[in-house]
Structure 1
Amino acid sequence: MEKVLRMASNRGVVMFSKSQCCMCYSVKILFNDLGVNLMVHELDHDPEGREMERALMRMGCSSAVPAVFIGGKLVGSTNEVMALHLGGGLIPLIRPYQVMS
């Protein structure tokens, strides 16, 4: 769990993902469209990926991926991110991490 927390706090917006996950892809596209420089950790490309998945589940993720952290705090998976966005709560959270174009 320490490694997950350390990786989650290295950047403003961090997502734990799997390369073939369609929900992960959707969340990546959302953040890209919102101008966020997202740090993505592909668990299926990491030798410790399975252990990190278990740690994410213990931290309260409804599903191991995608798991999104903003400002080092767990936001959640696709449902939580989309609900925040639709409710207007996501933009204020990511504003400090948006790339100016």
Structure 2
Amino acid sequence: MDRVTKMASERPVVIFSKSSCCMCYTIKSLFGDFGVNPAVHELDEIPRGRDIEQALSRLGCNPAVPAIFIGGEFVGGTNEVMTLHLNRSLIPMLKKAGALWL
């Protein structure tokens, strides 16, 4: 879990993903459309990615990916991020974290 916490705090937005996951692609595209440059960790392409995936599951991610951290804090997965976006809370959160300067 310490490794996840360290990785999650390296940039304003951090996404734990799998390269073959369509929901992960959707979330990465959403942030890209906003002009956010997240740190993306493809768990199927990095050493010990399975261990990180299990730690994310213990954190409450179900499914484990995508797991999105903003400002070092766990936000959730696709449903949570889309809910924030639809209720207009996501952009202010990204600005506060320093991921957007608009």
Could you tell me the TM-score, scaled by structure 1's length? 0.95
Secondary structure (helix, strand or coil) at the match of 2:69 reads strand
1:98 CA drift (Å)? 1.9
Q: CA RMSD of the aligned region, Å?
A: 1.1
Superposed, which structure 2 residues align to 1:67-78 within 5 Å? Answer: 67-78=67-78
Superposed, which structure 2 residues align to 1:7-86 within 5 Å? Answer: 7-86=7-86
The aligned length equals 100
Deviations 1:16-65 (A, max 9, x none): 00001000000000000011111100000112011101100111112110
Rounded to whole Å, the distance in 2 between the matches of 1:4 and 1:34 is 25
Which segments of structure 1 move beyond 4 Å, counting only runs of 4 or more?
Answer: none
1:99 CA drift (Å)? 5.9
Rounded to whole Å, the distance in 2 between the matches of 1:27 and 1:69 is 12
Rounded to whole Å, the distance in 1 between the matches of 2:100 and 2:38 is 9
Does the aligned pair in 2 maintain the 1:37–1:98 contact within 8 Å? no
Which of 86, 94, 100 matches 1:98?
100
Q: Which runs of 5+ in 1 are unaligned?
A: none
Identity %: 59
Secondary structure (helix, strand or coil) at the match of 2:16 reads strand
Rounded to whole Å, the distance in 2 between the matches of 1:27 and 1:12 is 15
Rounded to whole Å, the distance in 1 between the matches of 2:68 and 2:32 is 14
Q: Which runs of 5+ in 2 are unaligned?
A: none
